With several copies, the nearest count.
Chain A
């Protein structure tokens, strides 16, 4: 884990609380910031309780419960964003961004460009992705790759409480639409977070573990599985470098390539379906820009191309885990 640069104190808090703190601090700092989404208000406080206490703190006008109208949630946020506000929209499950794809891809992401830079769209879309809690095909997907493919949109994929808070604050302070991808299983995970104010710039990868023998680029919950794998392999004397891009757009190609130059071996691990997923872009980028430094084929660890099944043994089988990471590493080392 990279250390915070400031010299302020750290506390250990959850990823969930880190996100909530970012919302809270930015709403205090800037009264054009407001939240909208389904059941984020005082009755429910978010399906994952991320907005706990915020309606009490800021009132129902700034923490707005909406109807079940995903398209209108994003469309409304776009309209507010281009007229001076800074909306933060929550889509309750990442799978439901499908209902708002026109507003996300065609409106939010393109307005600044299409209108010749007359308007800015400072819009944050928060949504949880990922499987592992047995809620099946409509509530477990990881769709980050779709959003990487939309020019004009930024994509954040924090894996720790520290990264989540710092990146979210940057996102809120920014001027561009950004999809802020959270992971259901990360919410309760804990990590050190500074007491003082801080932000993390977009597009700076974090080397979560240093190593000389192989590079794993991992995102979201897979970062932790990669770190576990790295720990296990360390016992065998293998040094695995775990690179967490933290944002997919912009992507910190340099850190990834530098790591590959050092280790000569690359595994990419993400939880989404393999074909045309997050791992594809990173593999392609390296095959284009750093192939000569590779001493072995690139390997991808991802979900097989199936919907997420419900039954626990089935779900466990498709979501990549430490064993698959280690098995994959052994294939090329």
Chain B
């Protein structure tokens, strides 16, 4: 990976991190309605994967989707506005955090039903094949989603039809309070690729460059008409599952160990070591990112709620 790309990757990850920290701060102020699933700790995956994608490529996201949005190029202000339920949000306030989408950058939407996005991604892949373009779909989902019937049906169908879809399992070891070993006997979810006759690979999801390079291969494979693959990214969420979850079900040592593997600190260290960035450059990026996030937050806060009657609009097209 070349220097400029790595720096871009770093900036993207930082954007996600600081965005999520801002969301966290705002919900401390009680202005974020509903629940929230933060992506903190998993930034390398969305950023690493999406850095390989073109604007006309697609992604399909989950309940933990802010990072995917940002990585695919959605605007921070409209994303934040949606999370706050404002009229200026991507979905005019109708979707919120768990149902955010930006079709203008190929972000085909989050779904709050775990695993439901998988066959939808297959369908976007089919659409690409039928239209004869060389787009690619990246489909994100969690370890928990890998036990849904849709995982099986959706990936199998993409395999059989050789569709350009890269299935990315963000294995953060837990689905709410349920750890992976409670709900599957295998260690590497990538092994499930065997069942569909497609390539499967596990990668350190906290190593942005590793994610980038693994995704690069799979995306090329897909773009060249060789069909889908399954990439498992091992990672960890720094916070609880959702808004009020103290995540006490996770052993302290495990948490500490993983906090040390922070993907952003990781990449920062590498950038400094390789001399790609000096401390000053780092600081400047942080300032810039902080700045746009503050602006995004302010935009969201200042935006009006949609008028109530809009609830009745857009049921049908």
Interface residues of A (CB under 8 A from B): 32, 34, 38-39, 41, 43-44, 47, 61-62, 64-69, 71-72, 74-85, 87, 95-96, 98-99, 102-103, 106-107, 111-122, 133-139, 151-152, 154, 175-176, 304-307, 309-318
Contact = CB atoms under 8 A, between A and B. Distances in A.
A318 B311 contact: yes
B157 to A, nearest CB: 5
Contacts of B104: 118
A43 B180 CA distance: 13
Interface of B: 33-35, 58, 60, 85-86, 89-99, 101-104, 108-109, 111-116, 118-128, 130-131, 144-145, 147-150, 152-154, 156-157, 160-161, 175-178, 182-184, 249, 305-317
B316 A152 contact: yes
Contacts of B118: 75
A311 B85 contact: yes
B312 A311 contact: no
Contacts of A74: 119
A166 B55 CA distance: 39
Closest 9 CB pairs of A and B: A79-B123, A75-B119, A310-B96, A311-B93, A43-B177, A311-B85, A116-B91, A72-B153, A44-B177
B99 to A, nearest CB: 4
A114 B317 contact: no
B116 A102 contact: yes
B305 A312 contact: yes
B113 A115 contact: no
Q: Which of A71, A78, A96, A115 has the most CB of B within 10 A?
A: A115
A130 to B, nearest CB: 14
B314 A116 contact: yes
A75 B126 CA distance: 11
A96 B85 CA distance: 23
A79 B317 contact: no
A83 B120 CA distance: 10
A154 B175 CA distance: 31
A103 B90 CA distance: 22
Contact of A316 (B95, B121, B125, B308): B308
B140 to A, nearest CB: 14
Given A34-B130, A67-B160, A304-B312, 14 more contacts: A43-B249, A44-B176, A62-B130, A68-B115, A78-B123, A83-B58, A83-B124, A99-B113, A102-B113, A111-B109, A114-B99, A121-B317, A310-B94, A314-B311
Contact of A78 (B96, B120, B145): B120
A61 to B, nearest CB: 7
A107 B111 contact: yes
A69 to B, nearest CB: 4
Given A67-B147, A69-B156, A99-B149, A176 B316 contact: yes
Q: Is the interface of A mostly helix, strand, loop or mixed?
A: loop
Contact of B119 (A71, A85, A95): A71
A154 to B, nearest CB: 8
Contact of A39 (B122, B152, B178, B308): B178
Contact of A79 (B121, B144, B249): B121
A72 B101 CA distance: 21
A139 B305 contact: no
Contact of A176 (B34, B124, B313, B317): B317
B315 A305 contact: yes
A78 B60 CA distance: 12
B221 to A, nearest CB: 20
Nearest to A307: B315
Contact of B99 (A80, A96, A115, A122): A115
B317 A120 contact: yes
A69 B147 contact: yes
B113 A96 contact: yes
Contacts of A311: 33, 85-86, 93-94, 96, 305-306
Contacts of A111: 109
B166 to A, nearest CB: 14
Contacts of B99: 114-115, 136-138, 310
A235 B150 CA distance: 55
B103 A115 contact: yes
Contact of B111 (A43, A138, A305): A138
30 contacts: A32-B130, A43-B177, A67-B183, A68-B147, A68-B175, A68-B183, A75-B116, A75-B120, A76-B126, A78-B119, A80-B126, A85-B131, A96-B113, A107-B111, A107-B120, A113-B315, A115-B99, A116-B94, A117-B314, A118-B101, A118-B102, A134-B33, A135-B34, A136-B98, A137-B99, A310-B85, A311-B86, A311-B306, A312-B33, A314-B94
Given A111-B109, A138-B98, A312 B317 contact: no
Contacts of B176: 38-39, 43-44, 47
Nearest to A44: B177
A176 B311 CA distance: 18
A68 B241 CA distance: 15
Contacts of B96: 134-136, 310-311
- Indicate the member of A43, A154, A304, A311 with the most B CB atoms within 10 Å: A311
